[in-house]
Amino acid sequence: MSSGETDPQKLNGSWHDWSGQALSEPLGRGALYADGFFTTCKLRAGRIEYGDLHVARMIKSADALKLRLPEGFDEDLRKLAHNLTHHSGSGVLKLYVQRLPQDRRDAPNLMKRRGYAPSTSQVHLAWQFFEHAGLMSEELISINPAVNAVLLTQKVSLVPDNLAGLKTLARLDQVLAAAELSEQRQQFADSDLEGITLDLADQLCEGVSHNLCLLIGGQWVTPELKRSGIHGVFRAALLKHGLVHSCALNLDDLKRAQGAVLINSVRGLIPLKSINVSGSLIALDGGSGRHLAELIRQNTAFMSDILC
């Protein structure tokens, strides 16, 4: 569609909808190039659960993407968490960070810098808050009922070393995995069904929105995720305190596991009682999640880190 505007100076670098109406930057670099990252936090009693680990991952993400978080970002984030939960006491906060677009008034450099090339390290931050007073009544280490899982055909891409584990805005693998899981839930008539993914090297990766832990020979292990997947903050806490060890894992390891648990910092632990792998069922101890939860609760250093 053509624009009704004819002045090239006003058209230069501006955005328009399909009818030709001028718009104010509807698509930031996050939408155009996935040039940013995000995190999802559980807030409780005015504090961010695993707050230090969330902030550390965001700083690592900013450094990797050559972005500059605002001065005092850590303190401002904690103040925001406190203010948001002043009434309800708990909820979920999603924080999005993306690179600022180039100022189109910078006409001399517009052609040279348009497209992928970043023109600034400054960021735009946005957040969403979902009030959830019921979270206050949950235990710090919550265990969900055991569910079944299926190995999805959608695989997770391999990424360069400097992007491995980061929660960037490039999440199409997870979008397609979630779409496949939705289809599988309908096929199996199981609304609680969860999905497990491999990466493109056929190594075990993660769930659709959770990290994966396996109990093998009495030891809890998690995929090392050197070139794929997300380094979740719950997973990071488990590794930090030596409750779980990371290593390369494949389908053979999955088949010899006695137990399996999906984890993330918002939902807690989700034990798996079976995994469907191409029609073959791997039976698991659905009570193994209690074993991992008890190990965590007995680790005072871990528990004190949750609401640091």
Residues of the chain with CATH 3.20.10.10: 147-306
Q: Where in the chain is the domain with CATH 3.30.470.10?
A: 8-137
Instruction: Inform me whether the pLDDT recorded for 282 exceeds 70.
Output: yes
pLDDT, tens digit, 9 for 90 and up, residues 53-63: 999 999 999 99
Maximum Cα interatomic distance, the chain, rounded to a whole number of Å: 72
Q: Of 183, 105, 192, which Cα lies nearest the Cα of 145?
A: 192
* Mean pLDDT calculated for residue range 149-178: 97
- Give the closest residue to 152 by CA, choosing from 270, 276, 255: 276
| Matching residue, tokens 């959608």 | 154
Q: Using 50, 70 and 90 to split pLDDT, how confident is the model at 163? A: very high
Q: Given pLDDT bands bounded at 50, 70 and 90, which one contains residue 118? A: confident
Interatomic CA distance for residues 224 and 248, integer angstroms: 6
State which CATH number among 3.30.565.10, 3.30.470.20, 3.30.470.10, 3.40.50.620 fits the domain covering 8-137. Answer: 3.30.470.10
Token pair belonging to 165 = 């584990």
Task: Return mean pLDDT, the chain.
Answer: 89
What average pLDDT does range 7-14 have in this prediction?
51
Structure tokens at 51: 């707050």
Q: Name residue 102's amino acid.
A: Q
CATH superfamily of 147-306: D-amino Acid Aminotransferase, subunit A, domain 2 (3.20.10.10)
Instruction: Determine the pLDDT at residue 119.
Output: 82
Q: What is the pLDDT of residues 69-89, one digit of tens each?
A: 999 999 999 999 998 887 778
Distance CA 137, CA 48 (A): 16
Position 33 pLDDT exceeds 70: yes
* pTM confidence score: 0.89
Q: Are 92 and 43 in contact (CB under 8 A)?
A: yes
Percent of the chain with pLDDT over 70: 85
